[in-house]
Structure 1
């Protein structure tokens, strides 16, 4: 497997691309603060004529994602648009009217999760007799473990209910701590023999949505660069869509002094190959 290239900064490769699809959590912020160098790099790319779509597996629509940017210090000038797994999930729900939905929600409950389905007219029931299981996250992200849900999920699998996974990520780093996400429950569902629908990365719907929402430059696949911190979603998603990828080491994985060797081994563990790798996104 070919090692990635290790550019000193985005400036060294920026003229090869018209469009960047950039992950959010772990690349431009960590849930506590913005990564200033990463934001500055995206600002610089846009100043030289490039377009940037932030592309995130957050299980909420765009408006709910970007409302946190100003408090964290992410500038508006760093991106043109933001597309989320929540946006793609909402589109999947809209394509399935008149079904009953069993909602497995995240920590903030109905008030937070409602943006995924508000106004679509679905009926929600809290049992495995629904037509669809909408998995948004663990009910208690701090104290629950994915395996706590195995018996509950098994009942839905036995009834043949498909799961719509609003966030394919298995974990996310908030500050210095990892938390479980909906993707970990989807893994169990598939292990039990259930069907899972994934609108987010690394699957095609979220990439199609991001490119459709951008305007202006023609986006030949070889002129699109995907940036992210996850071999399983960002690097794999880029490969599946035929795009180049830049892995950055500021997210899920904590790296040591020998970054190049560690990244090469990490990608090999996932059976993936990034085009480039950097310790963190910078210009």
Structure 2
């Protein structure tokens, strides 16, 4: 692509969709984010599950339509399914779930017998179930696995500076089990493990990230799709990534060459002027022009 064409493409208006149905027939597989798209941390978003069900029941175009939920949740997929059940997200809306917790477990399994320090709340401890490791105090660790803040309602990354400095002094590598910086909960932005990992990297700590926007999660999701169909993965041009975060969902998909759709009513809701329920999505081109990555399309909320 010439520089002139590239500039023209980057300045072209990003379409705003009224519903997923406008583009659904182009795709065989949807890689759908969970938090911010299907629910807000307390309840399901109305219409999102139904939209995915409608997609899955479209007539086949060479292969069956599939939905894989791809989440940066720092816990195994079964725990995410339990949460979705509790929020009322129908299981008929998806074929499989892949989490950054699943990828973290694979990374940990590459180092059997290691002494691991869990930096994060006890609710995420299932990430270690069945693994050949020893959970130890911070000062004894060969590796630290960060799943989040102990109290994400009051703490910030600054509360962990001293702990991180201790790890850095001993060159302890970190696995970040949730690369998200923030998530939306009841229309508030809540800090995630990605903020702690970012702070550790800033002081020279070695960090391996499990999840979006990094390439391995897309490789794993496409491999999962191939396994579901007992054949090869769909061409990336026939895959749609749906998410509410430019930094992870959209940037990661774009880097992999996957078409993508930004859900406005998520972590960018306040910036886009749709924080209140009665707000409607207006012009987004000016806001997008200030961002480092542009989605292929925008939708106010995931609906059919």
> Normalising to structure 1: TM-score of the pair?
0.93
**Structure 1 CA distance for aligned equivalents of residues 30 and 46 of structure 2:** 18
Quote how far apart the aligned CAs of 1:147 are: 0.9
Task: Name which of 41, 54, 62 aligns with 1:31.
Answer: 41
Aligned match of 2:298: 277
Quote how far apart the aligned CAs of 1:258 are: 7.3
Does structure 1 conserve the Cα–Cα contact (< 8 Å) formed by 2:18 and 2:300?
Answer: no
Quote how far apart the aligned CAs of 1:194 are: 1.1
Quote how far apart the aligned CAs of 1:240 are: 1.5
Aligned match of 2:162: 151
Corresponding position: 1:169 with 2:190 = no
Map 1:1-283 onto structure 2 (within 5 A).
1-2=10-11, 3-48=13-58, 49=60, 50-106=65-121, 109=122, 112-214=123-225, 215-216=228-229, 218-254=233-269, 255-256=272-273, 259-262=281-284, 264-283=285-304
Does structure 1 conserve the Cα–Cα contact (< 8 Å) formed by 2:222 and 2:233?
Answer: no
RMSD of aligned alpha carbons: 1.6
**Structure 1 CA distance for aligned equivalents of residues 140 and 287 of structure 2:** 41
**Secondary structure, aligned partner of 1:67:** helix
Gaps of 5+ in 1: none
Quote how far apart the aligned CAs of 1:248 are: 0.5
Does structure 1 conserve the Cα–Cα contact (< 8 Å) formed by 2:250 and 2:294?
Answer: yes
**Structure 1 CA distance for aligned equivalents of residues 189 and 233 of structure 2:** 38
Quote how far apart the aligned CAs of 1:165 are: 0.3
Does structure 2 conserve the Cα–Cα contact (< 8 Å) formed by 1:97 and 1:122?
Answer: yes
Q: Deviations over 1:95-119 (max 9, x none)?
A: 121211111022xx1xx32321111
Does structure 2 conserve the Cα–Cα contact (< 8 Å) formed by 1:17 and 1:223?
Answer: yes
**Structure 2 CA distance for aligned equivalents of residues 161 and 53 of structure 1:** 34
**Secondary structure, aligned partner of 1:246:** strand
Please identify runs of 4+ aligned residues in structure 1 that moved more than 4 A.
none
**Secondary structure, aligned partner of 2:222:** helix
Aligned match of 2:4: none
- My pick for the range that moved more, 221-230 or 211-220, is 211-220
**Secondary structure, aligned partner of 1:197:** strand
Gaps of 5+ in 2: 1-9, 274-278
**Structure 2 CA distance for aligned equivalents of residues 219 and 68 of structure 1:** 29
**Structure 2 CA distance for aligned equivalents of residues 202 and 51 of structure 1:** 21
Quote how far apart the aligned CAs of 1:200 are: 0.6
Q: Deviations over 1:199-230 (max 9, x none)?
A: 11001222222222222274101111100000
